[in-house]
Chain A
Amino acid sequence: MVGLVNAEPPENPGEYKNVLIFLETRQGKLAKPGLEMISVGSAIAHKVNEELIGIVMGNKIENLVQEAGEHGCDRVIGLKSKDLEDFRTIPYSVNLSELIAEFKPNILLIPATRNGRDLASRIAVRSKTGVTADCTELDIDPAERILQARRPTYGESTLAEILCKRHRPQMATARPGIFSVPERDPRRKFVSEIRKTTIKKEFLKKEIVGFKPRSTLDLTSAKIIVSGGLGLGKPNGFKLLEELAGEIGASIGASRPTVDMGWIERDHQVGQTGQSVRPDIYIACGISGKAQHIMGMRLSKNIVSINTDAGAELNSISDYIINEDLYKVIPELVQAIKRRKSGENKPAETPA
């Protein structure tokens, strides 16, 4: 507990060196959003000839430490305790804070997942520093070693660059699905250390008394997404989308309202509070295009909007617009695809 005190900059920020990243685990495995911190973290660290230090916490972490190193951390610190097996705010924040005090990193990156944001909020206060949430671009000014943390704001219309000039570490959380996971290479050289630790009882007052896993769908690497919104009108509207998706090998996406109404599982949700996707083609069916949805799909290479509402906001960012009832359009589209596949619909050769 820091008490009611202000954010205090250190006397000598120049002492703070290297980039620390938090490698989130889920059910005993390194989660993808944490591994994504390796590519962006090492680019920043190496630009100023510093190290990328990965932090792994958990119980059985030997393989995870190895994996983090093979993906590109220069140094990996594993904190091992049975009380760190599952993420819990206080034991994780207390231990990460101790590592920050020891390593004095210039920069700390944490994935902007739910547990990542939960942790980052508390670490920023404990470390009396600033944190920029949900960044999509991260770079460093090599002269001053100031982190340039950029995040979309005002419904993705604007990219704000936010600096934390005097306080250390300079913290940011990074939006999942934006940065890539570097290839794993068993020949990569790195330094690692596993430390056994014990957690004080007073930090373990919150107990996890249940966990219901659910299927997880990774839409961030999907090439084709067929996505549904409230315009489907009913839960089994997604059945029709599945038919189309089956024909073209697409994954199913969804707008937040359809998820909130229980029409489809949450792991299909695209948008600010769901997954950020950038497929080759995004087919939006009955999606009006609230800012929160557009934020998660506007980087798609091609966008198709099927919607009866000609004024749907999504149309303004679409490459193709089909302004008719999706229950009429999609069966026609499925038939057209089938015909094209079977060669019935091969047009006459046209000169290139």
Chain B
Amino acid sequence: MTLEIVVMIKQVPDSQEVVIDPVTFTLNRSAARNVINPADENAIEAALRIKDREKDVHITVITMGPPFAESALLDAMARGVDDAILVSDRAFAGADTYPTGLTLAATITKMGKFDIIFAGEESTDSSTGHVGPGVAEFLGIEQASYTSNTWIEDGFVYAERELEDGIETVRMKPPCLITVLTNSNIPRNPTLRMKIDSFRKGIKTWSLADIELKPEWVGLKGSPTVVKSMRTINEKKREGKKFKAGEMDKFVEELVSKGILKL
């Protein structure tokens, strides 16, 4: 029987290209390209490694996003993912973590059978880490979050969770959801051959009607939280006083005399 894997990904502005403006201390992301969220690349790789080792594995990558998120899905297919679904509808705009999880869970339910769902630990643009486990709750399945390694043995899914005080190994029967840590593996590159194949094969696009949720359940309307205000965090003024390697006596004296360093 085919092992069905779903990988949930998100397209984000490339954080390598997002720079902090030294004057206003705000993020300048206008120049940034859109890429697969870094942790989601590791999630795709974790799924592909299972496909490398096990027989009869089928991987579908899904994302909720605007039409241009198609490029993230094609990128995933060019790395070896079999199929891709873009869930896209104006009604999804402005969703917080609850309706985002609901939309993805409804998509997976609509897809039919699934055994393992992978997701990145969190996205670089909102950094909550809530969507993956939220999907597991909507679907009523087990989960292992913050994992650095996953494998299958005797019909069980094993995962290593990296916690603050140690590494926990857990064992679960599928279906289950796994969130994968950023940099926990080295994602493979797309190949030209598979890029061509992915363009030929294309992706599926589903709308709100396809996943059968009510319009008021998703997007901004379905979100329990609202952003009331944003304020710039007042940076302490920092002088950036320069010292040379040959002036370390002077530097130490400065720190000591100002009470910054006590010797």
Contact = CB atoms under 8 A, between A and B. Distances in A.
Contacts of B162: 114, 266
Nearest to A117: B129
24 contacts: A9-B224, A31-B164, A89-B142, A114-B145, A115-B163, A118-B143, A122-B134, A129-B98, A130-B225, A157-B232, A158-B233, A160-B230, A162-B228, A205-B142, A211-B169, A216-B164, A256-B183, A273-B182, A281-B260, A317-B235, A320-B243, A321-B242, A324-B245, A336-B251
B241 A320 contact: yes
Contact of B26 (A9, A157, A315): A157
B89 interface: no
B230 to A, nearest CB: 5
Interface in B1-55: 15, 18-20, 22, 24-27
A157 B25 contact: yes
Interface stretch (B69-77, B79-87, B213-221): B213-221
Contact of A154 (B27, B106, B238): B27
A118 B165 contact: no
Given A313-B20, A332-B248, A117 B229 contact: no
Interface stretch (A15-23, A55-63, A65-73, A164-172): A164-172
Given A213-B165, A324-B245, A335-B248, A291 B18 contact: yes
Contacts of B129: 117, 121, 133
B239 interface: yes
Contact of A158 (B26, B132, B263): B26
A115 B102 CA distance: 22
Interface stretch (B57-65, B170-178, B189-197, B202-210): B170-178
Contact of B102 (A4, A156, A280): A4
A213 to B, nearest CB: 4
A302 B260 contact: yes
A206 B224 contact: no
Contact of B138 (A2, A93, A208): A2
A191 interface: no
A34 to B, nearest CB: 12
A123 B32 CA distance: 35
A332 B249 CA distance: 9
7 closest A-B pairs by CB: A1-B140, A130-B224, A121-B133, A316-B22, A336-B248, A210-B169, A130-B225
Contacts, number: 278
Interface residues of B, number: 92
Interface string B242-263: 1111101101111110001101
Q: Which of A4, A128, A213 has the most CB of B within 10 A?
A: A4
B138 A321 contact: no
Interface of A: 1-7, 9, 26-27, 31, 86, 89-90, 93, 113-115, 117-118, 120-122, 124-126, 128-134, 148, 152-167, 205-214, 216, 224, 248, 256-257, 260, 266-267, 272-273, 280-281, 289-292, 294, 298, 301-303, 313, 315-325, 328-329, 332-333, 335-337, 339-341, 345, 347
B168 A210 contact: yes
Contacts of A335: 248
Contacts of B225: 130-132, 162-164
Contacts of A213: 165-166
A301 B196 CA distance: 54
Given A320-B251, A335-B248, A134 B128 contact: yes
A316 B165 contact: no
Nearest to B179: A118
B97 interface: yes
Nearest to A301: B260
Contacts of B143: 89, 118, 122
B106 to A, nearest CB: 5
B167 interface: yes
A265 to B, nearest CB: 11
A253 to B, nearest CB: 15
Nearest to B16: A290
Contacts of A89: 133, 136, 142-143, 145
Contact of B105 (A4, A160, A347): A4
A167 B252 CA distance: 55
B134 A124 contact: yes
Contacts of B145: 89, 114, 117-118
A339 B256 CA distance: 13
Nearest to A259: B183
A123 B167 CA distance: 24
A248 B263 contact: yes
A68 to B, nearest CB: 19
Contacts of A329: 245, 248
Contacts of A303: 238
Contacts of A162: 225-228
Given A90-B142, A321-B240, A205 B172 contact: yes
Contacts of B97: 121, 124, 130-131, 133
Contacts of A209: 158, 169-171
